[in-house]
Structure 1
Amino acid sequence: MRTANPAPFAYLNELKPGQKIYIHNDGLTYVYEVRTSGLILPSSIRTLFRHEEDAWLSLVTCENFNDKAETFAYRRLVRAVLISIIPTK
């Protein structure tokens, strides 16, 4: 459902390769480095679930709303690799 307020991933398209993503969970900070960001078709589900040897983070949001079709034309996929885990206080 679309809302008037920005969604949690409203600025996902601004992430660029090399930028860091920090995820805080259970006393740890997981640091990921963005490797790719791009648009995929909604039918490109295999792109989301491909196997990787390292720990990767995939963030996905919808982009390019088509009013006539009442759906989003693309998905924004940002892929980032885990580079460190830091204990937090």
Structure 2
Amino acid sequence: MNKLCIQQKYIFEVRENVVVEPDDTSVLKHETKSWLTLITCKEYDEKTDTYRKRVAIRAVLVSAAGE
């Protein structure tokens, strides 16, 4: 799957919830199935005005159905 349709309902199952370093790209690895990766920042450092960590949630597509 390389496109999402507005008329579809997608169900994903979370498989990973990890905290990684900002330069760790391992959570962006290629998968043969349809995956969704959400990344956000964690542990703000006021001195450097940056975030020390990233939180990555990875989920695999379980089903897609029209509404």
Q: TM-score surpassing 0.5?
A: yes
- Please identify runs of 4+ aligned residues in structure 1 that moved more than 4 A: none
**SS of alignment partner, residue 37 of structure 1:** strand
Taking the TM superposition and a 5 Å limit, the aligned residue runs for 1:49-88 are 49-88=28-67
Q: Greater share of strand residues, 1 or 2?
A: 2
Identity of aligned residues (%): 31
TM-score where L is the length of structure 2: 0.87
Unaligned runs of 5+ residues in structure 1 are: 1-23
TM-score where L is the length of structure 1: 0.67
Taking the TM superposition and a 5 Å limit, the aligned residue runs for 1:1-89 are 25-45=5-25, 47-88=26-67
Superposed CA RMSD in Å reads 1.4
**How many equivalent pairs are there?**
64
